[in-house]
Amino acid sequence: MEKFVIHGGKPLKGEVAVSGAKNAAVAIVAAAILADEPCVLENVPEIQDINVCVKILYEMGASIKIIDKNTIRIDTRGISDPVVPYELARACRASSYFLGTLLGRFLKADVPMPGGCDLGDRPIDQHLKAFNILGARHTIDGGVVSLKADKLIGSQIYFDIVTVGGTINAMFAAVKAEGLTVIENAAKEPQIVDLANFLNSMGADIMGAGTDVIKIRGVKYLRGVTYGIIPDPIEAGTYMVAAAATKGDVYVKNVIPKHLESITDKLRKAGAFVEEFDECIHVKSEGRLMKTSFKTLPHPGFPTDMQPQFSTMLTTADGTSVVTDNIFDNRFRYVNELRRFGADITVEGTTAVIQGVSELSGATVKATDLRAGAALVIAGLMASGTTVVEEIYHIERGYENIDEKLRALGADITRVNDFDKARRVG
Ligand code: EPZ
């Protein structure tokens, strides 16, 4: 098992380039199933969740060509059986996107219930509601969701809650349905807009992505295109917060500053200096940060995917911060690990109260999920002494070369595995 060993207490300094957005890329890779011709995807992050999605396509019969580490050619015309392999589906949340894309193309799909980060209950009732409204029937048997439709007919879908995955799946099915679908109370995250741009470039007719009403007129044919995925706002936010948390001075490049406004705003409130350029954000901080309270909300609110990293930064801020994360019911599991660094945090339900301490000291901790893992790496960078972050496979699911990128910013972070250690001891 690999782990990160971090000797903390050094400010991050320099430039870091952000990779393609995980949560856009997983949807766009799955969307290749809807294309009637091969597609070339650029700026695809080299991360584990993408490996899983590409493997699902390959196992179902798609032809995949890795052009370079961030560019993939996908030809899904060879897929004839719309069945996603069990173990692969359970390896990530985005496997649920194969429900929508397979249904759109084959009018049927068999997809095991998706896996992904354990953030509490993650139902798919809204996805199923959307499929049902468009004319599909579903059954769940032995952990496998099966969908079938004679045809898909455009209709009005009102989501009871704002759901990213539900909105994306509804878009997939509606793109190939007959007539007009109107999705109301839709999610507005950057990946929804990126997916709509990708589908529209193939010939889809989608309007309103990025607002809470998306209108989709179904089409019969989607051509192949070459498409570049947007930069990852959460990866960018993670480096911004790491810079501020370590009293660093970092230029985060290849970003869309508009996607980062809620993070920029809160960093400024905490006392960091944040400067925006066209495709770059400069974050600098000196001295102690200030208490900052926030609530996570669907986009354009503060993203739940940045909550653990930002809360970690606040553990050494001056004063008491109150953080509420209502998006998922269990997104504070990392707090137990943070306490090992000496952080003073209490959690009541979906609210954490963080009493700033003067410093963190290194500890051995376990990543409990992807963003929790990133938060623990930030804690290790902030802390004096040595930190070991175990179970880093969670982090590899969504961050491309995080250790290399941090080393280039001056961090003392090394990847070790038990085999290396055993060899040294032996
Ligand atoms: C996406 O998850 C992201 N995952 C998550 O990113 C992100 O945290 C989340 O959106 C919120 O922004 C991907 O894009 C692959 P939701 P998703 O449907 O689609 C409830 C990361 O770290 N809900 O918007 O699963 C749900 O339980 C991750 O990169 C239902 O009740 O999130 C939650 O409380 C982890 N019924 C809320 O809605 C449903 O049918 C929002 O979930 C669907 C969701």
Per-residue pLDDT of the chain (426 residues; tens, 9 = 90+): 899 999 999 999 999 999 999 999 999 999 999 999 999 999 999 999 999 999 999 999 999 999 999 999 999 999 999 999 988 888 788 889 999 999 999 999 999 987 766 776 788 999 999 999 999 999 999 889 999 999 999 999 999 999 999 999 999 999 999 999 999 999 999 999 999 999 999 999 999 999 999 999 999 999 999 999 999 999 999 999 999 999 999 999 999 999 999 999 999 999 999 999 999 999 999 999 999 999 999 999 999 999 999 999 999 999 999 999 989 988 999 999 999 999 999 999 999 999 999 999 999 999 999 999 999 999 999 999 999 999 999 999 999 999 999 999 999 999 998 766 544 444
* Domains of the chain from N-terminus onward: 2-19+231-425 (3.65.10.10), 22-228 (3.65.10.10)
Q: Which of 28, 119, 160, 163 to mutate for ligand 1's pocket (most ligand atoms within 8 Å of CB)?
A: 163
Report how far ligand 1's centroid is from the alpha carbon of 303 (Å).
Answer: 11
For ligand 1, say whether the CB of 126 is within 6 Å of any of its atoms. Answer: yes
Q: What is the pLDDT of residues 217-231, one digit of tens each?
A: 999 999 999 999 999
**Contact call for residues 309 and 242 (beta carbons, < 8 A):** yes
User: Residue 125: which region, alpha, beta or left (left: phi > 0; alpha: psi -120 to 50)?
Assistant: alpha
Count of beta carbons in the 10 Å neighbourhood of residue 69: 11
Selecting among 39, 92, 117, 280, the annotated active-site residue is 117
Tell whether omega for the bond before 257 is within 30 degrees of 0, i.e. cis. Answer: no
370 lines ligand 1 (CB under 6 A): yes
For the CA of 369, the closest atom of ligand 1 is 22
CA–CA gap between residue 411 and residue 71 (Å, rounded): 29
pLDDT score at 261: 98
For ligand 1, atom 8, which residue shows the shortest CA distance? 305
Note the pLDDT of residue 419.
65
Does the beta carbon of 127 sit less than 6 angstroms from any atom of ligand 1?
yes
Told to judge if 280 belongs to the known catalytic residues of this protein, a careful annotator would answer no
